[in-house]
Every structure is written in structure tokens, then in C-alpha cells.
């Protein structure tokens, strides 16, 4: 899945990866020791605060290294990757803004104190009211369609706004290896399909008629999309910006939003590709993007958080079926919906820990790691070679900081696990902070119509 030719990581990067692994092992051990994880709390999500800070710093450094001095660059974290307010606040402190795609995500970004000028709104189905609020706040908006642009026209006519406004285009590059996540296919639902008949002319006219449109946006990468294909998409967007500005006879487009979509290596602890590799590749493929004439916006999600999150669960029972060992754990579809339903596209690495939270040693045995949900396919990993898991041991699903335990799926009314951040501490080894408390049974009942018990019998 990784691009050939970009796989080399520097010694420094290796060192950072090794440190992250050491922090993770220490966090699992401490979580067991302190009872965050135990018989009555059999599953937790853990977030590596130092790792998140490092990823944010690496992202900023990568683009600073290739952009002309003084180029305004906003890195807006795609909130959907990890929609947790303390994470957004941590990123805000690290100089990262927010990309939001719903009223809920906008509310999370605002709750975290992300300033409106560091927020970008990009959903394909914004209501008139959402648009009105975004413009009133001064949040940047990328119009996804001609109809949406018409709604923005009406708002711009009647209200003053500080919002930076643009159009999202789809360079129709073709699919990556995961169809459902490929945003730049010919028939993708996102943006204005640039190669459709008349589309480019429409875009040129739309900008010519609206001097207040100053941004151009595309998000064409995702897991399974190689760097070279992403770079080709961004080269197309850059060429379009140049054409719009030539057409306008001035620098109407002052900022290009290149989206996110850097893929994550789920096969080992190596961070690859790196932001530095991607930024250098872009600088080679599209040098004009970085010469200082354009401000830049990025919208990375998965690549900032995935490797900084781990879900850890207890092995409740160990059994055998059809000659295979099966560990029945508390981590399944509720925290890993993509892996459970599409295991070939989303395999996860599993690490075995013993009952005390120490990495488990011993000869590897092919076994299944099952979740707690009542359907046969609820498997975190199938036919995985691991030290034989026993009752009371723990399993960790690695690289799950984005689009996993932060995306609870309420199957079987399984509770949302608690999420804790961890950081090294000189005195205690490791410090934890509650990011999200475990969901209580009372909350489950309330969210399941518990306040409307007689609603149906009374009809
Ligand atoms: C999902 C999304 C992102 C983030 O994608 P990642 O693959 O998590 O980096 C960025 N921009 C838009 C518009 C998105 O929909």
C-alpha cells in the first residue's frame, strides 16, 4: 500500500517510532496496574499525547521546509478522524486548526476553542442555516456544488462576512485501493467534477462573476491512494487556480486547500509515508504551489492520529473451535467497525499483553481474536499468529487513534469505552487524563428512548 521509492525513513524518525512503542507498552502496563483497565472496565482507548504533539510538529515542519518564507499555512485537522474535544484542544495548542463537516463537528471545534479563522467547513450537504451560521462566524466554507454556491450568493448579498470562500473541485483521478474511500473517482459525490462536459468553463465563470471567491479546494487522497496520484490531483488543482487567476487578470485565488488523505502504514510501527516525504514530493511536482503566491490549507486526519491511539481489551475467555484457538475479548465491532465488516481493506495489528499488562512472550499460535458482539463476524483479527492468549490477558489493536474507538458503533448496546490520554511522568512513570468517560448504563438507556418509555403504548 505504501508508495515505492518513498519508504525510507531517517534515523530520527526510527527513533521517534521506537519511543512511541515504548510509551505505548508503558501505558498499557500502567492502565492495568491502576485499574483503568480491569475486570469491571474491560476495554479502554488510549491516546499518546507526546505522539500527537510530535505528529503536529512534523506536519508543520514538513510544509515550512518547502514553502517560501512567510507563506500562510493553515493545517486544519479533519475532525471526523478523532472527534474528541480534548484532542482538538491539544492540536489547537500545537498550532493546528479544524476541518469540519457537520454542525456537530463545528460545535466540537468551537468547544475546543479553535478560532473561526482556523476552521474550514466542507460538507456535501450543508443546510441553508448551517451556511448562514458559518458565514456569521467567519468560518471558511468550500461550496460543494453549483446549488450550494447559489445559496452562498444569497447570503453574501445580504450579510457581511469574514469567511474565506471557495469551491471544491474533484480532479477525477480514479480510485485508490479502497473504493468506498476514493474521493476522486469519475462519479464521486464530492465537489464539482472537473472533467465533466462544461464543468471547467462553469468553474471559470463562477469565479469571474464572484470576486469574493478566493479559495480553491480539493481533497482527493485517502487510505489506499498512493502519493503519486495525490500529487497529480494537486497539480491539476494548481493549474486550475492559475487559469482562474489568468482569466481574472489578478490574484483572485489567494489560497489553495489541498485536503488531507495521507495514508497510514498499518503494517508496522514505522511512520511511512511521512509528511516530509509528501511535502517534498509536492514541491517537486508542483513547485509553483510553494513559491509564496498562494496561501495553503491542509486537512489531514488519519495520519495525525492513527498511530497515536490504541484500544486495549481484556480476554474474557479463551476457547477452541474447529481446532483453532479463539480469544473472546471486549474489543469488536463497537470500536472497529471498518475492520470487522471489511477485514481485507482494514486489517489491524494486534499485540498481546499478559494479565499484568506486560508484552506477552511465547511461541506464536494461529488464533482468532473475537469481539463481544452477537454475530459470527465480530472478529478483530482472524487466523493471527500471536503468543497464545489466555483468560485475563489483554489484546491491543494498534494504530486505532483515528476512525476507530472514537467512532463508536452501538451494536448490542455495548458501552462506549473510556478514552484516556497518557504522557510520561518523572515521578509516576506515566500520567493519565480522562478524555472521554466510559458510557454508563444510565446513559445507554437515556440515549435509547429511556425518557419516552410509554411513547408507543400511549399512541
Ligand atoms: C475525510 C476528509 C479529510 C481527512 O482525510 P484523512 O484521510 O483522514 O486525512 C480531509 N478533508 C475532507 C474534505 C475530508 O472529507
* Mean pLDDT of all residues in 145-163: 96
For range 14-38, the mean pLDDT: 97
Label residue 38 by pLDDT band (50, 70, 90). Answer: very high
Cell of 43: 476495554
**Nine-digit cell string for 305:** 492520529
Q: What CATH number does the domain located at 307-441 have? A: 2.40.37.10
Q: How far apart are CA 398 and CA 306, in angstroms?
A: 8
Tell me the CATH number for domain 67-300: 3.20.20.10
Beta strands in 8-145 (DSSP E): 43-48, 73-78, 97-100, 119-121, 140-143
Q: What is the mean pLDDT of the chain?
A: 94
| Structure confidence at residue 191 (pLDDT) | 87
In angstroms, what is the span from residue 84 Cα to ligand 1's centroid? Answer: 16
Specify the length of the chain in residues. Answer: 459
- Which of 82, 102, 140, 261 to mutate for ligand 1's pocket (most ligand atoms within 8 Å of CB)? 261
pLDDT number for residue 4: 40
9 has pLDDT over 90: no
Report d(CA 260, CA 283) in Å as an integer.
Answer: 16
For residue 260, give the ligand 1 atom closest to its CA.
9
- Helices in 159-308 by DSSP H: which ranges? 199-209, 227-248, 275-285, 302-305
Q: Are 218 and 239 in contact (CB under 8 A)?
A: no
* Ligand 1: centre distance to CA 33 (Å): 37
CB 301 within 8 A of CB 77: yes
In the chain, CATH 2.40.37.10 sits at 307-441
**Residue 7 pLDDT more than 50?**
no
User: In the structure grid, which three cell numbers stand for residue 310, read together?
Assistant: 490504541
Report CA(181)–ligand 1 centroid distance (Å): 10
Span 186-192, mean pLDDT?
A: 79
- Which of 274, 201, 194, 186 lies closest to 234, judged by CA? 194
Share of the chain above pLDDT 90, in %: 88
DSSP state string for 229-263: HHHHHHHHHHHHHHHHHHHHTS----EEE------
Q: Which residue, among 309, 438, 418, 315, has the nearest Cα to 370 in the 3D structure?
A: 315
Rounded mean pLDDT of 175-197?
74
How many A from CA of 334 to the centre of ligand 1? Answer: 22
Mean pLDDT for the stretch of residues 228-235: 93
Is the CB of residue 329 less than 8 Å from the CB of residue 370? yes
Centre of ligand 1 to C-alpha 48, Å, is 21
Q: What is the pLDDT of residues 262-312, one digit of tens each?
A: 999 999 999 999 999 999 999 999 999 999 999 999 999 999 999 999 999
Taking CA atoms only, the protein residue closest to ligand 1 atom 5 is 261
pLDDT at 42: 98
Sorted by sequence, the CB contacts under 8 Å of residue 402 that are 6+ apart come out as: 81, 82, 264, 301, 302, 304, 305, 306, 309
- This prediction has a pTM of 0.95
pLDDT at position 81, please?
98
| Sign, CA torsion 224/226/227/230 | negative
Positions of CATH 3.20.20.10 in the chain: 67-300
Lowest mean pLDDT among 35-44, 106-115, 171-180, 270-279: 171-180
pLDDT at 5: 40
- pLDDT beyond 90 at 11: no
Cα(300) to centroid of ligand 1, in Å?
6
pLDDT-derived band at 10 (thresholds 50, 70, 90) equals low
Model confidence at 2: pLDDT above 50: no
Residues flanking ligand 1, CB < 6 Å: 78, 80-81, 99, 122, 219, 222, 259-262, 299-303
Pairwise CA distance, residues 382 & 320, whole Å:
13
Per-residue confidence (pLDDT) for residue 370, from 0 to 100: 98
Q: What is the mean pLDDT of residues 40-69?
A: 98
Q: For the residues 247-265, what does the mean pLDDT come to?
A: 96
Atom of ligand 1 nearest to the CA of 402: 8
| pLDDT value for 345 | 93
Residue with cell 494548481: 238
Q: Please give the pLDDT value at position 223.
A: 87
pLDDT reading at 364 higher than 70: yes
Predicted confidence band of residue 225 (pLDDT cuts 50, 70, 90):
confident
pLDDT band at 222 (very low <50, low <70, confident <90, very high): confident
Amino acid at each position: 500500500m505504501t508508495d515505492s521509492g518513498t519508504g525510507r525513513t531517517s534515523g530520527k524518525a526510527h527513533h521517534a517510532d521506537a519511543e512511541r512503542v515504548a510509551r505505548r507498552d508503558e501505558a498499557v502496563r500502567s492502565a492495568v496496574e491502576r485499574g483503568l483497565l480491569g475486570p469491571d472496565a474491560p476495554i479502554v482507548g488510549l491516546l499518546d499525547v507526546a505522539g500527537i504533539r510530535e505528529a503536529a510538529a512534523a506536519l508543520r515542519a514538513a510544509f515550512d521546509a518547502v514553502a517560501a518564507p512567510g507563506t500562510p499555512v493553515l493545517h486544519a485537522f479533519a475532525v471526523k478522524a478523532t472527534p474528541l474535544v480534548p484532542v482538538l484542544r491539544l492540536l489547537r495548542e500545537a498550532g493546528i486548526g479544524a476541518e469540519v463537516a457537520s454542525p456537530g463537528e463545528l460545535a466540537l471545534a468551537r468547544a475546543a476553542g479553535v478560532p473561526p479563522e482556523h476552521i474550514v467547513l466542507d460538507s456535501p450537504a450543508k443546510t441553508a442555516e448551517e451556511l448562514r451560521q458559518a458565514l456569521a462566524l467567519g468560518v471558511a466554507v468550500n461550496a460543494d456544488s453549483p446549488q450550494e454556491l447559489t445559496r452562498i450568493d444569497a447570503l453574501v448579498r445580504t450579510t457581511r462576512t469574514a469567511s474565506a470562500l471557495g469551491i471544491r473541485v474533484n480532479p477525477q483521478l480514479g480510485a485508490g485501493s479502497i473504493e468506498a474511500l476514493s474521493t476522486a473517482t469519475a462519479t464521486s459525490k464530492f465537489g464539482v467534477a472537473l472533467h465533466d462536459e462544461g464543468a471547467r468553463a462553469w468553474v471559470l465563470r463562477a469565479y469571474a462573476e464572484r470576486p469574493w471567491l478566493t479559495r480553491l479546494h480539493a481533497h482527493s487522497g485517502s487510505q489506499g491512494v498512493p502519493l503519486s496520484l495525490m500529487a497529480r490531483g494537486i497539480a491539476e488543482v494548481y493549474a486550475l487556480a492559475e487559469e482562474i487567476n489568468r482569466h481574472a487578470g489578478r490574484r483572485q485565488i489567494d489560497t489553495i486547500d489541498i485536503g488531507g488523505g495521507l495514508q497510514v502504514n498499518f503494517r508496522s510501527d514505522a511512520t511511512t509515508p511521512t509528511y516530509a516525504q509528501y511535502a517534498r514530493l509536492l514541491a517537486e511536482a508542483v513547485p509553483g504551489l510553494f513559491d509564496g503566491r498562494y496561501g495553503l490549507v491542509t486537512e489531514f486526519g488519519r495520519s495525525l492520529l492513527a498511530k497515536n491511539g490504541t484500544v486495549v481489551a481484556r480476554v474474557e475467555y479463551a476457547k477452541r473451535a474447529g481446532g483453532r484457538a479463539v480469544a473472546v475479548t471486549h474489543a469488536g465491532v463497537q470500536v472497529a467497525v471498518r475492520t470487522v465488516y471489511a477485514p481485507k481493506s482494514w486489517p489491524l495489528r494486534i499485540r498481546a499483553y499478559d494479565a499484568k499488562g506486560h508484552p506477552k512472550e511465547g511461541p506464536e499460535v494461529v488464533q482468532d481474536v473475537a469481539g463481544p458482539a452477537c454475530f459470527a463476524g465480530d472478529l478483530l483479527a482472524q487466523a493471527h499468529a500471536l503468543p497464545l492468549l489466555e483468560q485475563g490477558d489483554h489484546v491491543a489493536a494498534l494504530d486505532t487513534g483515528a476512525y476507530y474507538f472514537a467512532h463508536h458503533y452501538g451494536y448490542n448496546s455495548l458501552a462506549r469505552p473510556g478514552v484516556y490520554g497518557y504522557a510520561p511522568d518523572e515521578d509516576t512513570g506515566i500520567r493519565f487524563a480522562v478524555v472521554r468517560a466510559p458510557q454508563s448504563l444510565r446513559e445507554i438507556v437515556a440515549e435509547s428512548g429511556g425518557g419516552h418509555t410509554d411513547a408507543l403504548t400511549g399512541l
